[in-house]
Amino acid sequence: MPSEVKQLVIYYFSGTGNARNVAKWISGVAVERKIPTEVIDIAMIDRKHIPRPPAGTMIGFVSPTHGFNYPPVSMYFLFRFPRSNGNRFFLMNTRAGLKLSKWFVPGLSGLALWLSAIILLCKGYHIVGLRSIDLPSNWISFHPGVKEKVVESIYGHCKRITVAFASRILDGKRVYTAFRDIIQDILFSPVAIAYFFMGRFMLAKTFYATLDCDRCDICVENCPVKAIVIVDKRPFWSYRCESCMRCMNNCPKRAIETAHGYITAAMFLINLVILVLFWRWVSSLVTLPADKGWLKIPFTFARWGVTFAGLIVTYRVYHYLLKIPLVRELFYYTSLTRFRFWRRYRPSKKMISELH
């Protein structure tokens, strides 16, 4: 017979509210059972000095999935999390759920739950729950925000799943629903690794503030990782950016866009000019023997390094060029997100009002 839960502490990271709402739904179930419960936003605490959980406390962690993994801020949090006192721990990730006709289509977790479960097992925790929740996708750099009606429907479906999960976990049962996806998760693991080391930095560089920005600084103040800084009297997205989408979805002036045109031009410049010149220079120094294919590995890393450096330089340059009206116009007219039909993402209004 598993010992009862004396206290529940749920930590979460959330860009646009999905993971936060899952944490709140679970705390609602615990409160109904009169279990003392705390819900903690990891963006609001000192993540380097997390108190060790007392024995008998169950811990939960909820975070969105970014590039088939937890975002780095969540991974670093779990890395630094204190060792277990014999505690139980459950892990959840919110993913990009869709609804096609009447079917709910799940997102993809990749390494999100598996890497973090390994970290926590090494710290001595008993993992009692691993579950993904397919709330609506907030990735509006890629697609317009999901329609309100669909958001409400997906939210209702996910709330039922989350409450059932919480009830089972608090009854002392173990729920490992994530094992259903393990094969596809393993298949996506190389993409997760590439995204962690490269992809997210590129995405951070796709945001810019248009002329509609009136410097209200809501984006700067609300950024959960303090990645937006003011440079040259304009918001500038630094490499700390997790691309969580909070800034873009919450801007009251709709003045934050994804610079699709810029990223295409930068990639063109880097791949067809800078990298070609780089390879010519490398070939003039060394000749790669055809039978030693493995020698290509350091060159692949060098290529990534050049791409990365190219992005840093081009983004800095573009940022300053934004002062020129023509460049501003070019940026604006090549951003898909500027179109009115490209909705911003808002979590379910109905469900949020229930939480307050």
Ligand X SMILES: Cc1cc2nc3c(=O)[nH]c(=O)nc-3n(C[C@H](O)[C@H](O)[C@H](O)COP(=O)(O)O)c2cc1C
Binding site for ligand X (CB under 6 A): 14-19, 64-68, 94-96, 107-108, 110, 135, 137-139, 203, 243-245
Report the residue number whose CB is nearest to ligand X. 107
> Measured from the CB atom, is 73 or 244 closer to ligand X?
244
Question: Among candidates 7, 47, 45, which has minimal Cα distance to 27?
Answer: 7
Nearest to ligand X of 170, 248 (CB atom): 248
| Closer Cβ to ligand X, 117 or 322, answer by number | 117
Tell me the closest approach of the beta carbon of residue 333 to ligand X, in angstroms.
Answer: 24
Beta carbon of residue 195, minimum distance to ligand X (angstroms, whole number): 8
HEC string of the chain equals CCCCCCEEEEEECCCCCHHHHHHHHHHHHHHHCCCCEEEEEHHHCCCCCCCCCCCCEEEEEEEECCCCCCCHHHHHHHHHCCCCCCCEEEEEEECCEEEECCEEECCCCCCHHHHHHHHHHHCCCEEEEEEEECCECCCCCCCCCCCHHHHHHHHHHHHHHHHHHHHHHHCCCCECHHHHHHHHHHHCHHHHHHHHHHHHHHHHCCEEECCCCCCCCHHHHHCCCCCEEEECCEEEECCCCCCCCHHHHHCCCCCEEECHHHHHHHHHHHHHHHHHHHHHHHHHHCCCCCCCHHHHHHHHHHHHHHHHHHHHHHHHHHHHHCCCHHHHHHHHHCCHHHCCCCCCCCCCHHHHHHHC
Cβ distance to ligand X smaller for residue 88 or 205: 205
Q: How far is the CB of 345 from ligand X (least distance, A)?
A: 8
**Phi–psi pair at 56, nearest 5 degrees:** 90, -10
Q: Shortest distance, CB of residue 47 to ligand X, whole angstroms? A: 17
Q: Toward ligand X, which CB reaches closer, 95 or 159? A: 95
CA 104 to chain centre: 21
Cβ proximity to ligand X, 18 vs 87, nearer residue: 18
Q: Which is nearer to ligand X, 17 or 235 (CB)?
A: 17
Q: Which is nearer to ligand X, 7 or 153 (CB)?
A: 153
Q: Which two tokens stand for residue 144?
A: 């317009």
In the complex, minimum distance from the CB of residue 273 to ligand X, in angstroms, rounded to a whole number: 28
CB of 285 vs ligand X, minimal distance in Å? 38
Tell the smallest beta-carbon distance from residue 233 to ligand X (Å).
Answer: 27
